[in-house]
Amino acid sequence: MAYISNKNLFMGNTPAGNSRRQFVKNASAGLGLLPLSALLHARPQQKNTGKLNIVCVGGHPDDPESGCGGTLAKFANAGHTVTIIYLTTGEAGIPGKSHNEAAAIRKQEALNASKILGAKPVFAGQIDGDTIADNAWLTKLKGLITAERPDIVFTHWPVCSHKDHQVASLLTIQTWMRAANKFALYFFEVCTGEQSMIFHPTDYIDITDTQEQKRQAVYCHVSQDPPGIYGCGHAAMEEFRGRELGVKAGEGFVRMSGRGQGGFTI
């Protein structure tokens, strides 16, 4: 049994020449520290399906897609179950449209994007631009996340200029702290330098083979100016994280560390 540590020293896939048996042996001795990428091939404890349940919590439609769409696609393509929880439906995101009109448009865009990524969309029901972090909403989001029985959850990095992103992150962090069955929690970046700040990844995923799938998902959000999304730094982020990893394109994450980390077998 290999327990996942937050101190991920490897980037990319399991080091070449390291057999599964040796890797698990090293891990059990406290020497092997699994990166997020290794979880693509992990199997959850106490489950018979052989699948991981992956949840991503984003502030608005287009956030999960632009922040970690390549990674979500990789998990889905590997046969794992992926759910995207959109905290809001982007009600304030289309100039000249009422909240109801914008929500209808952006919900359909999210449905289209989720289909491309192989994910199930869930809409939490908060209002874009007027998000709330209180006990009532913590209870609701905790219920939505818990219902998916997650092994891994992705959400926004909390040091962010966009308050809706912060609310999504804080509610998810509080859910993680109160979870009876601890899941691994990772933070993704969006528009680094303008929104996500002081983001220093602990883990990386090679998205070279899902970069185009991610782009197609982002481009489903027609109302949000997809070229502008990439112009906000996402293209540069994919290239830079890829360079850090030694591949064409990558996504970076920060792992939440703390008590009661869950375990996986390889």
User: Tell me, what's the pLDDT at 262?
Assistant: 47
User: Tell me, what's the pLDDT at 266?
Assistant: 33
pLDDT one-digit tens code per residue, 142-177: 999 999 999 999 999 999 999 999 999 999 999 999
pLDDT one-digit tens code per residue, 94-142: 999 999 999 999 999 999 999 999 999 999 999 999 999 999 999 999 9
Mean pLDDT of the chain: 85
Residue 46 has pLDDT above 80, yes or no: no
User: Tell me, what's the pLDDT at 40?
Assistant: 80
User: Tell me, what's the pLDDT at 7?
Assistant: 32
User: Tell me, what's the pLDDT at 44?
Assistant: 62
Got the DSSP string for 95-130?
TTS-HHHHHHHHHHHHHHHHHHHT-EEEEEEE-TT-
> Which amino acid is residue 118, in one-letter code?
G
Mean pLDDT of 25-35: 38
User: Tell me, what's the pLDDT at 31?
Assistant: 22
Residue 24 has pLDDT above 50, yes or no: no
Q: How many CB atoms lie within 10 A of CB 216?
A: 18
Measured CA to CA, the distance from residue 62 to residue 89 in angstroms comes to 10
Q: Where are the domains of the chain?
A: 40-265
Mean pLDDT is lowest, of 15-24, 157-166, 191-200, 226-235, for 15-24
Measured CA to CA, the distance from residue 152 to residue 183 in angstroms comes to 5
User: Tell me, what's the pLDDT at 153?
Assistant: 97
Mean pLDDT is lowest, of 56-65, 79-88, 179-188, 204-213, for 179-188
Calculate the alpha carbon distances from 76 to 95, 120, 156, 251 in Å: 34, 10, 20, 16
Residue 5 has pLDDT above 90, yes or no: no
Residue 39 has pLDDT above 70, yes or no: yes
| CB proximity list for 76: less than 8 A, separation 6 or greater | 54, 82, 117, 118, 119
pTM comes to: 0.85
pLDDT one-digit tens code per residue, 49-91: 779 999 999 999 999 999 999 999 999 999 999 999 999 999 9
User: Tell me, what's the pLDDT at 50?
Assistant: 79
Residue 259 has pLDDT above 90, yes or no: no
40-265: CATH homologous superfamily?
LmbE-like (3.40.50.10320)
